[in-house]
Structure 1
Amino acid sequence: MGQNCTACLKGTPAEGKNIQDMDLSKKNIGGGLLEVIKEDQMENIETPLQSDRGDKKYRLYTGNPNMQMSHKAREIEGTFPHLDLSFEGINTYYLEDGSIYTGNFNENYEKIGKGIEVTKDGSKYVGDFKNNMRNGIGRLITAEGNSYEGEFCKGVFEGNGKLCLDKLKYEGNFVNNLQHGKGKEIWNDGSYFEGMYEKGLKNGFGKFIWNDNSWYEGEFKDNKLEGRGVYCWVSGKMYEGLWADNKMNGFGVFTWKDGRRYDGNFVNDHKHGKGQFKWPNGKIYYGSWEYGKQHGYGEIMFYDLKKGLFVTKKGIWEKGIIKEWLKK
């Protein structure tokens, strides 16, 4: 008569994808050192910018800046539509930091307006500059082949944008290079999350759908299922209630496709504490549970065919097995 729920809850709610691994704040999206293809340095003639100060010298660059891009960056750039920027009469310079820049400068030798920058590590940025920093709308392709298209402010992702990494894509809001606000992540395996972020982590309300079509909709905290939410398994099982640390913790309702239902407390995905279990035939157990099994005092109510009425029996259970029926 005991009901062992371990098999019923087979598999953890977050199986199929470790949400914590998707923390973009830990991803390297800014580039890294690698071997770069360089032009013949003899083509670069050292010349001052047109200014009376002349204290800052750049070399005029007459080669192809794309040759400094990494192989991966050039490969990814080929998948994007061409950006047509008109630079008639504007020179290309090899700057002191090792980058190659095509565009305008202000009186302080700072990049300004629309420009193209190929950095020393092999990354490429095309877009707006202000006070020597990426500012406005632009596209960045890193040496590793990651890309970002959208808004920049003072050199960082700020505002709405689209970030493409090796295993996933994110489209939504950014603050200081991190996902912040509303956004959507899509993984290569078809899984996706849509909801709220805070400082690069899933925080607040959202919906996560795994590639096997199981899903969770509810509250998140620091990339974990935490708070109130609903999880639905492909098999038809469903849990609605409280979560903590990616597990069912607190009061909730668990239903099965065949009509079974449990209303009660959970601890780390197990029925634990007080709860009621109802079978499809109308039989009900209400009482104590311990790690998924009836344990301690409980009452069971069922329909007695001989008597033609519902009967309630009280007893003591131990690890899912009735040990003693109590007299009324």
Structure 2
Amino acid sequence: MNRSEKEAALVRLGQYLASSNPALEAVKAQAFQHNGWFIPAFINKSLDNICQHYLSPAALHQWLEQYPAAAPAAPKTIGIVTAGNIPLVGFHDWLCGFVSGHQVKLKLSGKDEILMKHILGEMSSWYPEIAGQTVVMDILKDCDAYIATGSNNSARYFHYYFAKYPHIIRRNRTSIAVLTGQESRDELLALANDVMLYFGLGCRNVTKILVPAGYDFTPLLDALKHYDYLMDFHKYKNNYDYNLALLLLNSSTYLTNGSILLREEESLFSPISVLHYGYYEDAAALQKQLTGNEDLQCVVGQQYIPLGQAQQPSLTDYADGVDTLQFMLSL
């Protein structure tokens, strides 16, 4: 396939993922049954974002126009290790591999393999000529370059095993919001999406908010009640009950609306069902302080990424700020 043919194939994939095809609906149900964190609403949200921001004809064309169109003179083999925290979290890495012209060996997380395998199967059935470009493997060997995403602990192992090869290694990151206290209700509802989508498991989920002294938390707690329904899922409710019990046993100060706990805490990372908060005095000094923080994936707020858009990355919003497609094309 040449570049234009691949664009057309990806647009077709986007149309399929946006459809209510019975086979696709059955795979969604299977993915939820396999992983209780992948509730139907969040699977659909992930697919909607992929279709809108990754696979729309305009977005694809504009993205690919920024890179050389020529296929690599000597295609390499790229090993990709995906995470499994949110549905299809490794799709963008695979997409870069597909358009690069290299051979892709894919090590899928056991938590998120059903949807991606279905996508690969559909693409292979439509276009038999690309069936061998992506191979799903249990163990990655004999690759020329590697991209691996995981925890801080697994990242150390990845660095050890892949040190002598060109590589991109990603570790734990999270996101924060900087609030002024002047946000509208609509902006706070948008922030609720940044916090609560995917149960807060993504690196682009907001796990801490920074607020000025005297901030009134009531409007935010009201906005977060939009996600009260998450308490209907036992995995989330068990985390809420556990973290509430810890706060009560330790006589810790906290705020709650009955479905999420707010606690003043220095750490940027918060447990499931908990949102950390802290205070700031000087907004300009805070902006300088946040710049270059390696634990941050993104910052949302009126002077940052717009509230509600943390979980709507575009094709050029590369994880950790490393241009994945350029890395592949430069091999």
Is this a same-fold pair by TM over 0.5?
no
Q: Choose between structure 1 and 2: higher helix proportion.
A: 2
| More RCO (CA 8 Å, sep 6+) | 2
Higher-strand-fraction structure: 1
Q: TM-score, normalised by structure 2?
A: 0.22
Normalised by the size of structure 1, how large is the TM-score? 0.22
Larger-Rg structure? 1
